[in-house]
């Protein structure tokens, strides 16, 4: 029988992957789609990093990953929350937040599906920390866990290096 922990560790990266451009067509096709206007029915995803070179994007990702790691560490400290006992869970979430910070300009929750990510990022409800986390300490991503959560570990700090290592580099 599969444990809840195993199921969550399997499903969170999959949800995050579905929310990234991991399954998108080649970057040249995406770039041309971003600027090509078809009809009112087609709303193309407009990425903030569309005009970046690979090197610029890598630098932006490193900077965003460091910023989101620092933010997450400070937030656990300020709210009395903890990371999951398996640090690969918060690492994947932090990487997803950093990716959205680069592509959308805001740390949109990477654990949800959005019809229009850009609109959601502008509205702010699901920007980290999301409204449910701020109001009720409910983090469905398992990034910020209360001590009574069965998956909560003892860690309130994760290093940039741990995040990179857990995510297989940047």
Tell me which residues are annotated as active site. Answer: 111
Residue 138 is classified by DSSP as -
Cβ–Cβ under 8 Å, residues 8 and 150: no
Residue 127 is classified by DSSP as B
Tokens of 59: 């630098």
- Chain centroid offset of residue 34 CA: 22
CA–CA gap between residue 3 and residue 9 (Å, rounded): 10
Tokens 């929310």 correspond to: 19
Q: Which residue, among 130, 160, 162, 161, has the nearest Cα to 143 in the 3D structure?
A: 130
Tokens of 101: 């910070």
């Amino acid at each position: 029988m599969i444990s809840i922990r195993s199921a969550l560790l399997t499903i969170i990266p999959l949800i995050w992957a579905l929310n990234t451009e991991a399954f998108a067509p080649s970057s040249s096709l995406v770039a041309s789609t971003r600027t090509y206007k078809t009809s009112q029915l087609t709303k193309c995803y407009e990425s903030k990093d569309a005009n970046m070179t690979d090197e610029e994007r890598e630098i932006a990702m490193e900077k965003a990953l460091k910023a989101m790691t620092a933010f997450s560490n400070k937030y656990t400290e300020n709210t009395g929350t903890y990371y999951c006992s398996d640090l690969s869970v918060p690492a994947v979430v932090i990487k997803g937040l950093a990716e959205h910070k680069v592509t959308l300009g805001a740390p949109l929750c990477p654990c949800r599906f959005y019809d229009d990510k850009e609109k959601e990022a502008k509205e702010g409800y699901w920007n980290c920390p999301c409204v449910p986390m701020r109001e009720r300490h409910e983090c469905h991503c398992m990034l910020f866990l209360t001590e009574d959560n069965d998956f909560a570990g003892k860690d309130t700090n994760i290093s940039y290096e741990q995040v990179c290592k857990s995510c297989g580099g940047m």
